[in-house]
Amino acid sequence: MQVLLLLLAAAGLCWGQYNPNTLPKRNSIVHLFEWRWQDIAEECERYLAPNGFGGVQVSPPNENIVITSPNRPWWERYQPISYKICSRSGNEQQFRDMVARCNKVGVRIYVDAVVNHMCGAAGGSGTHSTCGSYFNTGKEDFPAVPYSGWDFNDGKCHTGSGNIENYGDMYQVRDCRLTGLLDLALSKDYVRSKIAEYMNNLIDMGVAGFRIDAAKHMWPGDIKGFLDKLHNLNTQWFSEGTRPFIYQEVIDLGGEPITGSQYFENGRVTEFKYGAKLGTVLRKWDGEKMAYLKNWGEGWGFVPSDRALVFVDNHDNQRGHGAGGASILTFWDARLYKMAVGFMLAHPYGFTRVMSSFRWPRHFENGKAVTINADTTCGNDWVCEHRWRQIRNMVIFRNVVDGEPFSNWWDNGSNQVAFGRGSKGFIIFNNDNWSLNASLQTGLPAGTYCDIISGQKEGDFCTAVEVHVAADGMADFLIGNEEDDPFIAIHVDAKL
């Protein structure tokens, strides 16, 4: 018995990095891309906690280069100058305030950690950084960390340009510069220690985990080198011995020597096939149809569910950066996008991240405030997909059906499909060019349910389509192909 307990405890220690550290029954996070810390703090209190969101992925909080041509692009934040908490999203005091206020209402903060590199080689020298720290890219001098020429990989890279020239060569991908970004020598214990110091500072403030940016461009063992130095989470909000949640950005669409599975030891990986394939299916490209989603997940060649961080789009591929290609669905294709996010949130595979965007082109000076309209949507060019009724209600659906099996799959051999989550929820889609008319087994207890897509339950009243489940679990569904949202979702908390 004692041995078993010891084994379990050891396993708990080793495996903690896969656990998102969200509160129970809070099973999704949202990426509030480019939001200011003060706006996130308010969003945690006024919206995310009441609607069951588990946490927020925030933009990189550390000091970065200031780029004025083009004028303050979003991507300047992926060019670190130091590890001071100082960016256009706010200063350290505002960051601390956000972490404390979000944790207080049970919403976790995940930091986008840009630690593979510093700024681009063409960054020049001076104090054009968000906190005014001096740097010199010609000398690879970043005194605010401090890093010097010794701390970069130049000697290890063997391409003519010093940049990654061929993704088929794993040595280049790890040892050369990603599009000219000065590549840190993570084999050095000094570099690992500086990175760990930065991350530990954030852990001590109360963050729950990290997205590891450009993980593909670091050796898995080097990542482990700094992860092993990380503190346990702050016991003010987390139980003793809790490890930070780690999800690594590894773009693996197949066809390259670097795969997501090489990184499993460190934590989860971003499964980029997920959004690329789901977009292809919903757009009906390459002969795909929703009926083929029956074995969605590992059956499609994805990484194991408990190693996957999944999303329909991310901040890169929604604007043509990174990978995924034209199939990626975004808020610009709102009708298909809502179906894709709905499918993702209903399906048990992976840990889910919802994207929350701004409308581009748009450039930032000092962080633009998020404004909220009377109808609860966002103003000031913020899209706030996470506040769209259909998406927000599906975040709740995922929490309600937590732990329930994938069940009662049905399809018409084309683009009409349905499935349940045990006896807690049921969802049905019509992506065909004709209407859906079917009588299906839902697995739900008898009663009248309120569709959470066309509206929702408010008190004892349903503002939407009602679904009547008979004593044997059967229900009739009718979904026209011209509906604004051609899908219906019901769950036990939306029973009238």
Residues with catalytic roles:
213, 249
* Amino acid at residue number 366: N
Least Cβ distance, residue 62 to ligand AAO (angstroms): 12
Comparing CB distances to ligand AAO, the nearer of 67 and 227 is 67
| Nearest by Cα to 247 from 211, 274, 281 | 211
Told to check if 323 binds ligand AAO by CB under 6 A, we report: yes
Stretch that binds ligand AAO, among 223-231, 248-256, 393-401, 407-415 (CB under 6 A): 248-256
End-to-end CA distance of the chain: 47
321 binds ligand AAO (CB under 6 A): yes
List b or e across 110-137, with b for residues whose CB sees 16 or more CB atoms inside 10 angstroms. bbbbbbbbbbbbebeeeebbbbebebeb
Contact between 325 and ligand AAO by CB under 6 A: the answer reads yes
Site for ligand AAO in 288-317 (CB under 6 A): 316
Asked whether position 181 contacts ligand AAO by CB under 6 A, the answer is: yes
Task: Verify binding: residue 115, ligand AAO, rule CB under 6 A.
Answer: no
CB of 475 to ligand AAO, least distance (A): 41
Residue 120 Cβ vs ligand AAO, minimum distance, rounded to whole Å: 2
Cβ proximity to ligand AAO: between 80 and 206 the closer is 80
Name the DSSP letter for residue 216: G
Is position 353 an interface residue for ligand AAO (rule: CB under 6 A)? no
Q: Is 364 in the site for ligand AAO (CB under 6 A)?
A: no
Residue 322 interacts with ligand AAO (CB under 6 A)?
yes
Segment contacting ligand AAO by CB under 6 A, of 26-34, 288-296, 318-326, 472-480: 318-326
Question: Per CB under 6 A, does 79 bind ligand AAO?
Answer: yes
Cβ 80 to ligand AAO shortest distance, Å: 9
**Long-range pairs for 314-320 at CB < 8 Å and ≥24 separation?**
314/31, 314/270, 314/275, 314/353, 314/355, 315/31, 315/33, 315/74, 315/355, 315/357, 317/272, 317/275, 318/355, 318/357, 319/360
Q: Does 75 bind ligand AAO (CB under 6 A)?
A: yes
Query: Binding-site residue total for ligand AAO (CB under 6 A)?
Result: 25
Alpha-carbon distance 197 to 208, whole Å?
Answer: 16
Question: Distances in Å between the alpha carbon of 160 and those of 172, 219, 256?
Answer: 11, 21, 21
How wide is the angle at C-alpha 472 spanned by C-alphas 466 and 474, nearest 5°? 45
Closest by CA to 281, choosing from 343, 349, 332, is 343
Q: Does 318 bind ligand AAO (CB under 6 A)?
A: no
Q: Which stretch binds ligand AAO (CB under 6 A): 43-51, 172-180, 396-404, 457-465?
A: 172-180
CA-derived radius of gyration, the chain:
23
What's the min distance (Å) between Cβ of 314 and ligand AAO?
Answer: 7
Shortest approach of ligand AAO to residue 94 CB, angstroms? 23
Residue 256 binds ligand AAO, judged by CB under 6 A: yes
The amino acid at residue 128 is: H
Check binding of 78 to ligand AAO (CB under 6 A). yes
Rounded distance between C-alpha atoms, residue 50 and residue 257, angstroms: 44
* Residues 354, 55 contacting (CB under 8 angstroms): no
Contacts by residues 434-437 (CB-CB < 8 Å, ≥ 24 positions apart): 434/481, 435/478, 435/479, 435/480, 435/481, 436/412, 436/477, 436/478, 436/479, 436/481, 436/486, 437/477, 437/478
Helices (H) and strands (E) in the chain, counts: 9, 25
* φ and ψ at residue 146, rounded to 5 degrees: -95, 145
The answer to the question of residue 249 lying near ligand AAO (CB under 6 A) is: yes
| 274 versus 419: smaller Cβ distance to ligand AAO | 274
Give the separation between CA 164 and CA 151, rounded to whole angstroms: 18
CB-based contact 469:488 (threshold 8 Å): no
Q: How far is the CB of 252 from ligand AAO (least distance, A)?
A: 8
Pick 163 or 187: Cβ nearer ligand AAO: 163
Segment lying near ligand AAO (by CB under 6 A), choices 176-184, 260-268, 362-370, 453-461: 176-184
The yes or no reply on residue 169 touching ligand AAO (CB under 6 A) is no
Residue 167 in the binding site for ligand AAO (CB under 6 A): yes
> Which CB atom, from 79 or from 454, has the smaller least distance to ligand AAO?
79
Chain residues that interact with ligand AAO, rule: CB under 6 A: 75-76, 78-79, 114, 120, 122, 167, 178-181, 213-214, 216, 249, 251, 253, 255-256, 316, 321-323, 325
